[in-house]
Amino acid sequence: MWESYESQISRKPITQPRIIIHGGAGNIRPETMPPERYQLFRASLLTIISKSHRFLLNPLPDGSLPTALDSATYAVTLLEDDPLYNAGRGAVFTRDGINELEASIMITNPTRWPKRGVGVSGLRRVKNPIKLAAELLKRGGQDLVGKGVAVEDVEGAEGRLNVPSAQGHTHLHGAAAEQLAEAYGLELVDPSYFWTKDRWEQHRRGLEREKAMAELTCSGLHGCGTPAGTASWSSDEFIPQGTVGAVVVDAYGTVCVATSTGGLTNKLTGRIGDTPTVGAGFWAEEWLEELEGQKAGSSSCPAVVLSGALKGLVADCLSTPRMYQLGSSSPKRVVTKRAIAVSGTGNGDSFLRTTAARTVGAIAQFGKESGAVALTKVTGPGGELQRSAGDRWGKTGEGEGGMIGIECIVVYDGDGNAVESRSEILQDFNCGGMLRAWVDEQGVAFMRVFRKDPALAAKYVGEGIPEDPQNWCGEKL
Ligand code: ASP
């Protein structure tokens, strides 16, 4: 059955391309986010979402449309190059004052790139970690059989690690990963490229706060009524958990998630977080669902009788312009493919302990929930992440975070032809705010940090206001 549906991939467009990006989540509140700083994020996010959306819709010389993999890599590269975010150029420091970068990428289907998902960590010299992750994924077909690029081919390779290719490995760390980056011709930089004043000051303040906390003689995390904090988190400051991410569905129904980070401020040197760890900070997968009842379709709808999670996503297809109509067919039977990809940001150790991203996928698949419900159960207020913090919630940053994602549903007739499709942008968080932007079904761009709240909308000009991406495709304002 899979072959029948997979053979459709990359032949003809079957759905409307969509994109959502994030620039981190955490203790973002009016007290920790001055309006001037908000405007910097707003201009950056709207510019990057608009450029990435244009990239996604721009046909390639052979007439095909860009893949979700290339589009998500493009978006995250722009985010990594902007020092506002805790990724690439603006990465945070470890306790030892070092930048150690991490990234990952994953796609929902294995047809073109069988490796599907990879993570990289412990990078000190790779300018754009996301490009390394993407390269490792694209080369997966060769790597899986041990025939990838030979590092001996690189000038001056003597005396270095024996890294003939990425092999079938899913996660590569440190020197081995950097050798492959060099072998692939990716740009390496001096570690000083990642030094920024803001991050250095946050690093120093964090260590001082930790020292001050240690000197308090009061018992308990909030014992003296003073603001709580650690070297990595503060109740009265937004210490960037500013990981960046992009989730894209391309015209061919593949969903890709790309995520990149400097990790937690003042993490231990050598710590590996959720961002490069499959299932914790990112996940992408697809599966088929046989529908409970089917009957012959009409020209306008395959008349599917939908079960569980699919109700409300596809069942209302006739009444909404959001459904991507693919022409008439007479299905003998109906099969639905659900694809979902999510990118997380927040306290990575909590994401690791709850395998947060994979849990979203599992709830959607085995719990028969919509992607939106599944994501909220994990990362929404009172969800699994918050629950995992126990009585430390609100005191250490544990459990805090958010996620973005896309669910794409394609309905196939009995001959394996896609007859209808629909995608849904997913987003939720359990903390003060999540920096995010997306393009809706009508091609309108939005940027938001908070939940809908008239008081916050008045304070933060532009919050949630519809924008024409065309107006944001130039350089950052
Ligand atoms: N999740 C990241 C980490 O813990 C931090 C972030 O999202 O900003 O490494």
pLDDT, tens digit, for every residue of 49-91? 999 999 999 999 999 999 999 999 999 999 999 999 999 999 9
**86 CA → ligand 1 middle, Å:** 9
Is 271 marked within a binding site?
Answer: yes
Find out whether the beta carbon of 86 lies less than 6 Å from any atom of ligand 1: yes
Q: Which residue has the higher pLDDT, 97 or 475?
A: 97
pLDDT at site 229: 60
Find out whether the beta carbon of 261 lies less than 6 Å from any atom of ligand 1: yes
> pLDDT tier at 299 (50, 70, 90 boundaries)?
very low
**330 CA → ligand 1 middle, Å:** 48
Average pLDDT over residues 209-221: 65
pLDDT at site 237: 61
Is 77 marked within a binding site?
Answer: no
pLDDT at site 477: 39
Find out whether the beta carbon of 348 lies less than 6 Å from any atom of ligand 1: yes
Find out whether the beta carbon of 24 lies less than 6 Å from any atom of ligand 1: yes
In the numeric block, the tokens 């920790």 are attached to 32
> pLDDT tier at 121 (50, 70, 90 boundaries)?
very high
> pLDDT tier at 217 (50, 70, 90 boundaries)?
low
Ligand 1, pocket-test mutation among 85, 257, 264, most atoms within 8 A of CB: 264
Mutual orientation of helices 35-57 and 68-81 as an angle, nearest 10°? 150
118-128 b/e with 16+ CB inside 10 Å = b? bbbbbbbbbbb
**284 CA → ligand 1 middle, Å:** 19
Stretch among 146-160, 165-179, 271-285, 304-318 having the lowest mean pLDDT: 304-318
Residue 134 has pLDDT above 70, yes or no: yes
Find out whether the beta carbon of 345 lies less than 6 Å from any atom of ligand 1: yes
Ligand 1, pocket-test mutation among 76, 101, 243, most atoms within 8 A of CB: 243
Q: What are the residues whose beta carbons fall under 8 Å from the beta carbon of 455, sequence distance 6 or more?
A: none
Is 451 marked within a binding site?
Answer: no
What domains can be seen in the chain, in order of their start residue?
12-88+104-110+237-291+332-465 (3.60.20.30)
Q: Rounded to an integer, what distance in angstroms lies between the CA atom of residue 371 and that of residue 361? A: 8
Average pLDDT over residues 335-362: 97
In the numeric block, the tokens 């996660």 are attached to 171
Q: Which residue has the higher pLDDT, 35 or 217?
A: 35
Q: How many DSSP H helices and E strands does the chain contain?
A: 12, 13
Residue 307 has pLDDT above 50, yes or no: no
pLDDT at site 396: 85
Q: What are the residues whose beta carbons fall under 8 Å from the beta carbon of 289, sequence distance 6 or more?
A: 307, 310, 335, 336, 337, 338
Contact 109, 254 (CB under 8 A): yes
Find out whether the beta carbon of 274 lies less than 6 Å from any atom of ligand 1: yes
pLDDT at site 312: 53
Residue 336 has pLDDT above 70, yes or no: yes
Residue 156 has pLDDT above 50, yes or no: yes
Give me the chain's average pLDDT, please. Answer: 86
384-439 tens-digit pLDDT: 999 999 999 998 899 999 999 999 999 988 788 888 999 999 999 999 999 999 99
pLDDT at site 146: 84
Residue 371 has pLDDT above 80, yes or no: yes
Ligand 1 atom closest to the CA of 347, numbered from 1: 4
pTM of the model: 0.89
Average pLDDT over residues 224-252: 72
